[in-house]
């Protein structure tokens, strides 16, 4: 048996007290290593399932199917560097900026999934859902608990900032959350608005400049340009159906 002390340490880490109580017999029989390996694999599988369920990333197109040549401009090298997850080590943010339907959410979900595979905690939410939930809480204690919930994951993805306009109250809540995570945990934001336009997203909010400053500080920014991929797919579906109808006519 290779390194029996290391094997026993793995059993202790798994709290396999019954196995440890009969350690000499287990090691003599030769099946202890296999049992510990099975237990580690099963716990890792169940942990991943729980984290995927809790992350709420939903269904998404895998990166291998992403059409990199569809956007007219995209910094693929920067995004592929993000996929190494090095940015999580120093709590760097990532900002995906581009027009509607260009693939920002797909790329963000792929980053989220990779982080889950690598053992990190992740939470994916839309800006509307996040801010609507926080603003609806009617007690300070409930709000503090929910802010802690969103501040806790290693990676938080806030999708679709800029699609709706929000009140000063919403802006203050987002600023509070960003501030709690600032230089502590990584946040990914997808937005269809240039950051100079965020005053239109949060009209009259005094905290907008400070919020953007915290998000952009040492952040990786992936700018995407081009036509909506969803519009492209809709056209292709319409063309296929039209062709099928023409072919069905006698």
CATH number of the domain that residue 148 is part of? 3.40.50.300
pLDDT at 250 over 60: no
Name which of 61-65, 100-104, 191-195, 237-241 the model is least confident about: 237-241
Residues 3-10: what's their mean pLDDT? 87
pLDDT at 248 over 70: no
List Cβ<8 Å contacts ≥24 apart for 5-10. Answer: 7/32, 7/33, 7/36, 10/36, 10/40
Question: Which domain range does residue 154 map to?
Answer: 66-232
What is the number of domains present in the chain?
1
For residue range 196-242, what is the model confidence (pLDDT) as tens digits?
Answer: 999 999 998 999 999 999 999 989 999 999 988 877 777 888 888 88
pLDDT at 15 over 80: yes
Q: How far, in Å, CA of 50 to CA of 47, rounded?
A: 5
Residue 20 domain-assigned? no
Q: What is this structure's pTM? A: 0.80
Contact residues for 28 (Cβ-Cβ < 8 A; gap 6+): none
pLDDT of residue 240: 86
Residues 177-192: what's their mean pLDDT? 97
Residues 15-33: what's their mean pLDDT? 88
Residue 15 domain-assigned? no
pLDDT at 109 over 80: yes
Residue 125 domain-assigned? yes
Beta strands at 94-97 and 122-126: parallel, antiparallel or unpaired: unpaired
Residue 16 domain-assigned? no
For residue range 143-169, what is the model confidence (pLDDT) as tens digits?
Answer: 999 999 999 999 999 999 999 999 999
pLDDT of residue 1: 55
The Cα diameter of the chain in Å comes to 81
Q: Who wins on pLDDT, 183 or 52?
A: 183
Residue 105 domain-assigned? yes
Q: Who wins on pLDDT, 22 or 141?
A: 141
């Amino acid at each position: 048996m290779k390194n029996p002390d290391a094997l026993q340490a793995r059993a202790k880490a798994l709290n396999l007290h019954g196995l440890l109580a009969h350690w000499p017999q287990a090691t003599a029989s030769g099946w202890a290593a296999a049992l510990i390996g099975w237990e580690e694999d099963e716990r890792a599988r169940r942990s991943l399932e729980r984290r995927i369920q809790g992350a709420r990333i939903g269904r998404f197109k895998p990166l291998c199917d992403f059409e990199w040549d569809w956007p007219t401009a995209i910094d693929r090298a920067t995004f592929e560097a993000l996929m190494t997850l090095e940015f999580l080590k120093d709590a760097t943010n990532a900002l995906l900026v581009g027009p509607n339907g260009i693939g920002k959410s797909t790329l963000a979900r792929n980053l989220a999934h990779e982080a889950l595979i690598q053992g990190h905690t992740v939470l994916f939410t839309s800006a509307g859902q996040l801010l609507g939930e926080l603003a609806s809480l009617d007690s300070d204690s409930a709000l503090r608990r929910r802010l802690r919930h969103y501040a806790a994951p290693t990676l938080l993805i806030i999708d679709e900032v800029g699609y709706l306009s929000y009140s000063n109250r919403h802006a203050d809540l987002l600023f509070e959350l960003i501030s709690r995570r600032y230089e502590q945990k990584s946040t990914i934001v997808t937005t269809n608005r240039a950051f100079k336009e965020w005053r239109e997203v949060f009209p009259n909010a005094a905290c907008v400049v400070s919020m953007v400053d915290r998000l952009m500080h040492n952040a990786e920014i992936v700018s995407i340009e081009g036509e909506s991929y969803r519009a492209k797919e809709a056209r292709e579906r319409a063309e296929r159906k039209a062709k099928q109808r023409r072919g069905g006519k006698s």
